[in-house]
């Protein structure tokens, strides 16, 4: 089927890679995301990295298979149908309204598919990683924030407002009264995300120079009672949220990714306890597993967006799909051989 360029655009770092049809990432380029410089600079970084991958692609393999397109997983609430950012946090000032797909397609001369970065991450794990072979995969991403996505039949659930997957903004009893970045109170992200763990440690009497959640976990590993308690509460709160999602969605498997998933049993144990406490009997034993692909998941998933768009275009050229490059804001662009430049 050829190759795709996958791009993972985050608030602090942007990566691009050459993705094969089996999800393997053959080469990779990275750069800091110039968020403070505005959306034009951010988009220029995306386009520049993708162009670097396109130029380097011929040396990555011996095949003459074509480069079929570009897939971009971008931070913010993204409408994959129009390939436009609907809203974004202050992490990317001015990012809302950016027409990622149309701009990147014009610059690169290849079809471009766009979706939210967490949904791209989930698609990568569902298709090539810990959820491979399962029909319905729930991904929970726990790190700087808490989010996720539901993949059904190999397709990310987008939602009527393109906002599906904001699992960090579900209520949590452990977070009552705590302000959330969304302007509400008591959401699971305010107790279970990495910065929330650090904040809870300080709020409960912990002292600097414990600078971040990583330092709190290090203290917990030494047996520090306060650090252990904070980590346990965070893990259990997220587990209870996952249990509630199991009750509501009944996926085949739950995949947990993000920075916190790479911590120890001090966090995983309470998380599993929280799942067991909340989940009803029919789903209580459902597998909850760590993500398998690490940082490659988002690139592989972004590549999958491009593969899916190319397949949809080839099988039904006159119709558009949620991830198709034949979006309302652009015309289809033919595939180019690897190494071609716009």
Q: Which stretch of 17-21, 206-210, 326-330 has the lowest confidence by average pLDDT?
A: 326-330
The pTM for the full model equals 0.88
Rounded Cα–Cα distance for residues 12 and 293 (Å): 20
277-311 confidence digits (pLDDT tens): 999 999 999 999 999 999 899 999 999 999 999 99
- Report the b/e string of 86-111 with b at 16+ CB within 10 A: bebeebbeebeebbbbbbbbebbbbb
- CB 280: neighbour CB atoms within 10 A? 11
pLDDT above 70 covers a percentage of the chain that reads: 91
Single out the residue of 26, 79, 70 nearest to residue 48, CA to CA: 70
Whether residue 165 has pLDDT greater than 70 = yes
Say if CB 8 and CB 73 are below 8 A apart. yes
204-229 confidence digits (pLDDT tens): 999 778 999 999 999 999 999 999 99
Say if CB 210 and CB 201 are below 8 A apart. yes
Whether residue 340 has pLDDT greater than 90 = no
Cα 155 to chain centroid, rounded = 14
The C-alpha R_g of the chain, in whole angstroms, comes to 20
62-78 confidence digits (pLDDT tens): 567 889 999 999 999 99
């Amino acid at each position: 089927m050829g190759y795709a360029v996958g791009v993972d655009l985050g608030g602090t770092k942007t990566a691009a890679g050459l993705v094969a049809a089996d999800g393997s990432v053959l080469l990779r380029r990275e750069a800091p995301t110039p968020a403070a410089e505005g959306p034009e600079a951010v988009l220029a970084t995306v386009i520049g990295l993708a162009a670097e991958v396109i130029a380097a692609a011929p040396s990555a393999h011996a095949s003459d298979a074509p480069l079929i397109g570009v897939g971009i997983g971008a931070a913010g609430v993204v409408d994959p149908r129009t390939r436009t950012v609907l809203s974004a946090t202050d992490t990317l000032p001015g990012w809302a309204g950016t027409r990622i797909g149309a701009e990147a397609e014009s610059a690169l001369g290849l079809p471009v598919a766009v979706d939210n970065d967490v949904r791209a991450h989930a698609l990568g794990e569902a298709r090539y990683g810990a959820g491979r072979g399962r029909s319905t995969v729930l991904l929970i991403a726990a790190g700087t924030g808490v989010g996720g996505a539901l993949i059904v039949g190999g397709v990310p659930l987008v939602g009527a407002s393109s906002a599906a997957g904001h699992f960090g903004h579900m209520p949590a009893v452990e977070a009552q009264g705590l302000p959330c970045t969304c302007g509400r109170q008591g959401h699971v992200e305010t107790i279970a995300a990495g910065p929330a763990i650090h904040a809870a440690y300080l709020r409960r009497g912990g002292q600097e120079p414990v600078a971040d959640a990583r330092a709190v976990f290090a203290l917990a590993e030494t047996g520090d009672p306060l650090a252990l308690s904070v980590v346990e509460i965070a893990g259990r709160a997220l587990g209870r949220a996952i249990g509630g999602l199991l009750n509501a969605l009944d996926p085949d498997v739950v995949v947990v990714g993000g920075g916190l998933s790479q911590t120890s049993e001090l966090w995983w144990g309470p998380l599993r306890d929280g799942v067991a406490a909340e989940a009803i009997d029919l789903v209580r034993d459902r597998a909850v597993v760590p993500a398998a692909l690490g940082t490659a998941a988002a690139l592989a998933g972004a590549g999958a967006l491009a593969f899916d768009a190319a397949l949809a275009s080839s099988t039904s050229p006159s119709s558009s799909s949620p991830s198709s490059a034949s979006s309302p804001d652009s015309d289809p662009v033919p595939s180019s051989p690897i190494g071609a430049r716009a």
